[in-house]
A and B are shown apart, each in its own frame.
Chain A
C-alpha cells in the first residue's frame, strides 16, 4: 500500500528540557500512514524522550505536534491511547503475575471479566497478523519474544492509527527478529503508520520506508530508505567529526612498550562470560577476551549490546550465568566487589550514579570511599587528612570543585567522572581497568585529560578495557578494537582510521 500524501503525524521544531538538560531540540519530522518510519540513535540521543512526548508521558517545552489533522498535545498516555496512538515499550509494561488475557483486559474492560470472549479476540488478532498467542499463559512464564507479541496485541486491540515500537529488536534473539519485522510490515500495510525506534540499523533495513537519525537531541538525518547510505547513517548516529584533539592524540601515541616490571601473564582474562537477565534474554554471550598488561583494548559497540552487563560482572556486582574472569591470574567470578578491588580491578562505569559514587556524600568521601581505613584512627575519620589527600588528588586529576567537602552531586558531570577516574586509577595495586563510556558528557579538555590518565596507567603496566561507542576516540587511544554486538564479540580490527568503515559496519550488525 503506497503511503498517503498528508502526514499522519507531524512534529515541528519540537523541544524538551529537563531542568538544565536539553533532551531534544528543534526536531521536525513527518510520518505517513502506510509507512514504516525508522528512528535511529543511541541511548541518550533522545529517542525515548521523543516517543514519550508523542505518547503523552511528558509535555514538550517547545514546538508543536499535529496528529490526524488536528493539533496534538496529549496530557497523558490514556489520552494518547484514546486518540489512536499506541506504544510498545522497550521495557514491557506487563504485570508478570497476571495472565496474557488479564494483562490485555487491564484498563480495557469494565465490570465483570469475560475471559473467554476476550481471549478469543486476542487469538483472532494475533492470527490476522500471522502469529499465535495463548491468552491463558502467565506473562511471567513467557519467553521474551512471546511477551513482546502480547504487548503488540495489547496495542493492536486499541485499533491505533499510529504504532510506536521502542527498541523492539533489542531483547529478541536473532532468530525471532524476522517474525517481528514481518508483523510491523503487515501493520503498516493495513493502513497504519509504524515508528520503529532502534539503533540496530542493519536489522530493520529490510522493512523501513524512511530513516531519521537523532543525535544528542537533534535530528541529523531524514531520508527515505531507498536513498540512504548505510555507512553514512552509522556515522551520523554514532561518530563525531574528526577533530584536532583526535589527531593530536593519535600523533602522541607511542608504541606500547612492555614496562620492565610488567606482571607475567594477562592483566584481564574473560572466558566465556554469559549473562541472562531476569526475563531470560541473553545480554552477554560467550564473551572471551584477553588483555595484556599495558595494552589498551577498545570494545566498540552501540550502547545496549551488553556493555553494562559486562561492566557489572567485571566489577564483581553481577554473577554471570556462565563463564569466568580473571584479574592478574586470580579467578574473581564469584568473589564479590571487595575482592575485585583488592585484586586490582578498577572500574569507571557508564552510569556512575548507580554504581560508582554516592551522590549524597562529599567529593572527598567519594574519592576515598574504598580507602577509608587509611584515614581512620581509633574508629574516627580523620577529616583533615582526608580532605588534604582529596585536594591533592583533585589537583592531580584536574577535578574542579569549590572544595573537597562539597556534595558530589554539586560537581559537573565531567568533574564527577574525573573524580571517579582518580579514585580508580590510584588503586594500589591496579592490574586492570575497565572504563565504560568514560568521556560521555565531557568537554574537550576533560576528554583529553581522561585519556592522558588512561594512557599513563597503561604505560605503568595496567591492562585497560575501554568500552565506548565513540569510534574516533577508540581509534585514537586503543591498540586494537573489538566489537560487541548483541552481547557477542563479532570481530577485531587494528585501531586505525582506515578500519573505521569496517568497525562501524560490525557495530551496526552487518557481518554479524
Chain B
C-alpha cells in the first residue's frame, strides 16, 4: 500500500510537471490579456527540437536549450500575430497547433525515419543528498532531473515577478484595463510581447521535460493534449499561480489514477479520469466553482484611442 502511494505520488509529479511549467508560463500571457491556444503546439515543437538537439549533439543540456529556443520562436510569431497584427488569437492558436503537429511529425519521419524508438541522451536524475533518502516519498520528491529543480525555481520566480515587481504590475494592468495602463505610460504591446515570450520559454521547458527528462525519446504527437490541459488548469486555477499549480497537480493525479486504480482493483473508467480536468475547467468557467474572473481584456487586442 505504501509502495503504491509512493508510486502514485511519483506518477503524479511526473505527469504534473510539464503541466505546471507550461501553465505558469501561459498564466503570465493570460494575465496580460493574450490567450495562447498554441500552447500545445509550442510544447510539441519544444519536445521535438529538444530531442533532436540532444540526439544530434549527444548533449542533453544542449537539447534543452534547443527546445527552449524553438518554443520561444513559435511564441514570438504568435506574439507578432496577436499583438501587432491583432489577428484572432484563437484562430492563430489552432493554426499553430496544426502546423506544429504536421511539422514535427514530418521532420521526425524524415530525420528519424518511421517508427524509431531511438533513445536520445536524456537528463540524468540528480539526487538531493540526504533528502532523497527520506522514506516514503523521498525518491519521488528529491530525485529528479535538473529541469524539475530549475523549473520549480522558475515557477517561484514567476510568482515573485507577478506580485512583487513593476513588470508584474504592468502585466496585470495590461490584462485588465489596457487603456488605463496605456494612460499610465505602460507600453501595452511590448508588455504583451514579453508575456508571450515568457510563455514560450516555459513551454520550452515543459516540452524538454517530456522528451529529454521523462521519456528519453520523441514520438509523434507526444504531448497529446497536455497543452490544452495546461490551459484548462489556468482556467480552473482562476488565473492565480498558486491555485494553477495546485490544479496541475490535481490533473496530474487524475491522469496517474488511470493506472493506479485498476492496480488497486477499483474500477473507475479511465475515460472519466481523463475527462475530469476538462469537466472541472468547464465548471470553473461557468462560475460554478467560486466566482472566477478572467482578466477583463483576455483575447481583446488593444488599439490606442479605440
Contacts and interface: CB of A to CB of B under 8 A. Distances in A.
Is any CB of A less than 8 Å from a CB of B in the complex? yes
Interface of A: 57-58, 76-78, 81, 89, 92-98, 102, 105-113
B170 interface: yes
Given A95-B172, A106-B170, A112 B164 contact: yes
A95 B185 contact: no
B164 A58 contact: no
A110 B173 CA distance: 15
B176 A106 contact: no
A95 B295 CA distance: 11
B158 to A, nearest CB: 15
A448 B263 CA distance: 86
B184 interface: yes
Given A58-B305, A112-B164, A107 B176 contact: no
Interface of B: 164-166, 169-170, 172-173, 176-177, 179-186, 293, 304-305
Contact of B180 (A58, A81, A94, A108): A94
Given A57-B305, A95-B173, A95-B177, A81 B166 contact: no
A113 B183 contact: no
A77 B180 CA distance: 11
A112 B157 CA distance: 12
Contacts of B172: 95, 97-98
Contacts of A106: 169-170, 173, 181, 184, 186
A98 B166 contact: no
The binding surface of chain B is classed by DSSP as helix
A175 B215 CA distance: 69
B182 to A, nearest CB: 7
Contacts of B293: 97
Given A77-B185, A81-B185, A93 B179 contact: yes
A93 B180 contact: yes
A285 to B, nearest CB: 28
A172 to B, nearest CB: 20
Contacts of A57: 304-305
Contact of B166 (A76, A77, A89, A111): A111
Contacts of A109: 166
A78 B185 contact: yes
A92 B183 CA distance: 10
26 contacts: A57-B304, A57-B305, A77-B182, A77-B185, A78-B185, A93-B183, A94-B177, A95-B173, A95-B176, A95-B180, A95-B181, A96-B177, A97-B172, A97-B293, A98-B169, A98-B172, A106-B181, A106-B184, A106-B186, A107-B184, A107-B186, A108-B184, A109-B166, A110-B166, A113-B165, A113-B169
A252 B56 CA distance: 94
A76 B182 CA distance: 9
A97 B169 contact: no
A58 B179 CA distance: 14
A496 B293 CA distance: 54
Q: Which 6 residue pairs of A and B lie closest in terms of their CB atoms, listed nearest first?
A: A93-B180, A78-B185, A107-B184, A107-B185, A93-B183, A106-B184
A78 B304 CA distance: 13
A120 to B, nearest CB: 18
Contacts of A108: 184
Contacts of B166: 105, 109-111, 113
B163 to A, nearest CB: 8
Contacts of B177: 93-96
A377 B253 CA distance: 58
Given A58-B305, A77-B183, A111 B169 contact: no
A98 B173 contact: yes
A102 B186 CA distance: 14
A112 B164 CA distance: 6
A98 B164 CA distance: 13
Given A77-B183, A110-B166, 5 more contacts: A95-B173, A107-B170, A109-B166, A112-B164, A112-B165
Nearest to B184: A107
